[in-house]
């Protein structure tokens, strides 16, 4: 019985689901039939062979469908390139235009509905060669629909959205882009200046009018790979400079078109000032943009331009001029490190200042691993990596390493990368004559001359990267302070949320904030100077310190937590020649360091505030 009952329930559920699906399907079909019944035209968008849009007080714009399915402009000039996706959209909107409600079978006073001088007139020719004339008048009183009329038929209501989609100007309907497909990434760019003979520049032996300069060519394998120069030299390319121009070309839009120009000379295009030829990832075919003169009438803010395959002249923002290479190697990467800083896995430094190795670990961050593992200041290493990425050379040099003494450099920085590929080696050698310059190599091996100020940014020593964190503990969990100052011992404990003096027993705190100030001074405590060797400064005073301290912490809210004692931190004599620095040592790390004098002043203030019981 149980099995039969379950089967019966399953069959009933299946029946209900089928009934619901059938009901929903009938509703959808009814809604679709209602929409189809409201359609003004009974043919699909593909059957529209020609469309003409006539806006009030503007010349008509028309385009016809080619046999291939694309569009070609008819008005105002067949030479204009149509924006084909928008013409497809217009055709689709026409084919699906709906009559929301019929108002009048006969129109005696068309001006009442704004149809005597319509805001928009659209002529559509269907595949059978028949023309259909659609007029749009005023908005009706609720401002929801527009009055419309097809041929000499009745007045009906059309949606405002339909009017918006069809109300297109020549500026909307023409192709104003600099490239054929702005959604396709550029993979190749070639730029050349062209000698025009115009302007104030004079040459003793000028080139022929129209002769091009040395072409600059950059390429990449895909949109995800870096640009590289292939002409006039094979070299790494400056990604930011090249990408800025590539974006300007790929997404650039022309303005204020001059169709059928009488002469190109009036726009500085006979000959042009410059040429940009690009190829994209879609078909790889060359597309050329010619650059003309600055448009003086526009206040010098725009330039004339022309696509080589089209007749029209248009204007571009003159900002593009600033992106063009001024010299043949302007797009060449001048930074010593040509790869991304995020790709660095290790930095090996070998120079007059010492030898050490920094390695990056995804969990621990940067670590000093040679000559021995040591605490590392992450912020300082990050700043150094940023400097390494930004340092630039000035002039590229021809020849080999030995010619510039780089076969025996003073400093070598070997950069290893996360992909395990060939490491980059930056070599540094002092200029033999000019003290303001060094000879260097890029990580690619190219030889350059670099200014001293640039090179000094990446010459360093191990001490700079060692962590200066000497003493640190969670201040909110501090419950006990044990310290000696000038030979006397003190113990302070936190009881019921208040600090009290346990030793000497005859003293009490004058102010709770004095203890908080000391805790703030102690944690975190950073060395104010690099480490020093004790044998170099025998009189550090750390064998008989002026101040030494232990701090006990305990998270009393955690039942599993145990008290933890931190220290000792010891502070000794003042550093000679540095009145505001004292020698210090900590169990947190080996060595002797320099810390601020104001810690001692904070202790004196606390002790000066003690009162007798």
29: left (phi over 0), alpha (psi -120 to 50) or beta: alpha
User: What's the rounded Cα separation, in Å, for the pair 160 and 63?
Assistant: 23
Q: Does the residue 28 lie in any domain?
A: no
CA distances from 423 to 198, 235, 419, 426 (A): 49, 17, 10, 10
In this predicted structure, the answer to whether residue 451 has a pLDDT above a threshold of 60 is yes
Q: Are residues 518 and 575 in the same domain?
A: yes
pLDDT at 30: 46
* Reported confidence tier of residue 169, pLDDT bands at 50, 70, 90: very high
pLDDT at 530: 61
Q: Does the residue 89 lie in any domain?
A: yes
Q: Are residues 197 and 316 in the same domain?
A: yes
Residue 212 DSSP code: B
Q: Are residues 544 and 429 in the same domain?
A: no
pTM of the predicted model as reported, rounded to 2 decimal places: 0.72
> Which domain does 434 fall in, by range?
341-465
In this predicted structure, the answer to whether residue 28 has a pLDDT above a threshold of 80 is no
In this predicted structure, the answer to whether residue 531 has a pLDDT above a threshold of 60 is no
Q: Are residues 461 and 346 in the same domain?
A: yes
Residue 203 DSSP SS3: coil
CATH number of the domain bearing residue 190: 2.60.40
Residue 478 pairs in a beta bridge with 553
Q: Which of 323, 350, 385 is the last residue of a domain?
A: 323
Q: What is the four-CA torsion angle of 261, 262, 267, 271, rounded to 10 degrees?
A: 110
pLDDT at 29: 52
Q: Does the residue 240 lie in any domain?
A: yes
Residue 587 CA to chain centroid, in angstroms? 44
Q: Does the residue 141 lie in any domain?
A: yes
In this predicted structure, the answer to whether residue 49 has a pLDDT above a threshold of 70 is yes
Q: Are residues 453 and 515 in the same domain?
A: no
Q: Does the residue 329 lie in any domain?
A: no
Q: Are residues 162 and 69 in the same domain?
A: yes
Q: Does the residue 1 lie in any domain?
A: no
CB 295 within 8 A of CB 305: no
pLDDT at 33: 47
* Reported confidence tier of residue 4, pLDDT bands at 50, 70, 90: low
Q: Are residues 126 and 204 in the same domain?
A: no
Q: Are residues 198 and 303 in the same domain?
A: yes
Closest CA to 573 of 608, 550, 547: 547
Q: Does the residue 572 lie in any domain?
A: yes
Find the mean pLDDT for residues 590-598: 88
Work out the end-to-end distance of the chain between its first and last CA atoms, rounded to an integer number of angstroms: 92
Query: Angle formed by the axes of helices 598-608 and 512-522, to 10°?
Result: 160
CB 303 within 8 A of CB 295: yes
Order of strands, edge to edge, in the sheet holding 216-219? 235-236, 228-231, 216-219, 186-193, 274-280, 287-294, 302-307, 313-317, 255-258
Question: How is residue 481 written in tokens?
Answer: 């302070």
Q: Does the residue 26 lie in any domain?
A: no
* Reported confidence tier of residue 32, pLDDT bands at 50, 70, 90: very low
Mean pLDDT value across the chain: 90
Q: Are residues 607 and 483 in the same domain?
A: yes
User: What's the rounded Cα separation, in Å, for the pair 270 and 260?
Assistant: 15
Q: Are residues 95 and 220 in the same domain?
A: no
pLDDT at 17: 67
Find the mean pLDDT for residues 39-50: 90
* Reported confidence tier of residue 42, pLDDT bands at 50, 70, 90: confident
* Reported confidence tier of residue 170, pLDDT bands at 50, 70, 90: very high
Q: Are residues 508 and 546 in the same domain?
A: yes
Q: Are residues 193 and 309 in the same domain?
A: yes
- Domains in the chain: how many in total? 4
Q: Are strands 235-236 and 228-231 parallel, antiparallel or unpaired?
A: antiparallel
In this predicted structure, the answer to whether residue 136 has a pLDDT above a threshold of 90 is yes
């Amino acid at each position: 019985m149980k099995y039969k009952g379950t089967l019966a329930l399953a069959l009933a559920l299946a029946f209900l689901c089928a009934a619901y699906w059938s009901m929903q399907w009938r509703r959808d079909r009814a809604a679709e039939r209602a929409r189809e019944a409201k359609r003004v035209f009974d043919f699909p968008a593909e059957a529209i062979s020609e469309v003409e849009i006539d806006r009030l007080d503007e010349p008509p714009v028309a385009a016809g469908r080619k046999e291939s399915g694309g569009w070609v402009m008819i008005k105002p000039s067949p030479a204009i390139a149509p924006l084909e996706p928008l013409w497809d959209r217009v055709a689709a909107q026409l084919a699906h235009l709906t009559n929301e409600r019929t108002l009048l079978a006969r129109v005696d006073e068309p001006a009442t509905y704004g149809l005597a001088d319509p805001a928009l007139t659209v002529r559509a020719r269907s595949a059978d060669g028949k023309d259909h004339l659609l007029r749009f008048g005023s908005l009706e009183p609720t401002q929801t629909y527009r009055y419309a009329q097809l041929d000499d038929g009745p007045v009906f209501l059309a949606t405002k959205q339909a009017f918006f989609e069809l109300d297109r100007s020549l500026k909307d309907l023409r192709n104003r882009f600099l490239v054929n497909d702005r959604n396709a990434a550029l993979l190749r760019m070639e730029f050349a200046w062209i000698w025009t003979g115009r302007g104030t520049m004079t040459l003793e032996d000028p080139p022929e009018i129209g002769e091009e300069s040395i072409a600059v060519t950059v390429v990449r394998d895909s949109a995800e790979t870096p640009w590289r120069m292939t002409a006039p030299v094979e070299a790494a390319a400056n990604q930011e400079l090249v990408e800025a121009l590539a974006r300007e070309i790929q997404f650039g839009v022309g303005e204020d078109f001059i169709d059928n120009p009488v002469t190109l000379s009036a726009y500085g295009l006979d000959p042009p000032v410059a040429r940009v030829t690009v190829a994209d990832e879609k078909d790889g075919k060359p597309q050329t943009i010619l650059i003309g003169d600055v448009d003086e009438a526009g206040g010098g803010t725009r330039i004339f331009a022309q696509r080589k395959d089209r007749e029209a002249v248009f204007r571009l923002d003159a900002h593009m001029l600033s992106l063009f290479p001024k010299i043949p190697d302007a797009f060449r990467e001048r930074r010593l490190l040509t790869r991304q800083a995020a790709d660095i896995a290790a930095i090996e430094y070998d120079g007059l200042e010492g030898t050490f190795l920094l390695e990056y670990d995804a969990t621990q961050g940067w670590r000093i691993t040679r000559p021995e593992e040591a605490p590392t200041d992450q912020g300082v290493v990050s700043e150094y990596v940023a400097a390494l990425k930004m340092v630039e050379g000035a002039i590229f040099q021809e020849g080999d390493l030995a010619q510039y003494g780089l076969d025996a450099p003073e400093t070598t920085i070997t950069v290893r990368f996360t992909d395990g590929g060939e490491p980059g080696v930056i070599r540094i050698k002092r200029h033999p004559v000019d003290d303001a310059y060094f000879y260097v190599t890029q990580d690619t091996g190219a030889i350059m001359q670099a200014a001293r100020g640039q090179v000094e940014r990446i010459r360093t020593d191990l001490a700079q990267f060692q962590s200066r964190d000497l003493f640190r503990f969670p201040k909110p969990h501090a419950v006990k302070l044990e310290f000696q100052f000038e030979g006397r011992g003190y113990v302070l404990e936190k009881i019921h949320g208040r600090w009290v003096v346990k030793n000497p027993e005859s003293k009490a705190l004058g102010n709770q904030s004095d203890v908080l100030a000391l805790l703030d001074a102690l944690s975190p405590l950073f060395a104010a100077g690099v480490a020093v060797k004790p044998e170099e400064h025998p009189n550090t005073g750390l064998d008989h310190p002026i101040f030494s301290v232990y701090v006990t912490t305990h998270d009393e809210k955690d039942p599993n937590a145990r008290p933890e004692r931190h220290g000792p931190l010891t502070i000794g004599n003042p550093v000679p020649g540095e009145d505001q620095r004292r020698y210090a040592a900590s169990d947190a790390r080996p060595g002797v360091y320099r810390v601020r004098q104001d810690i001692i002043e904070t202790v004196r203030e606390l002790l000066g505030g003690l009162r007798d019981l």
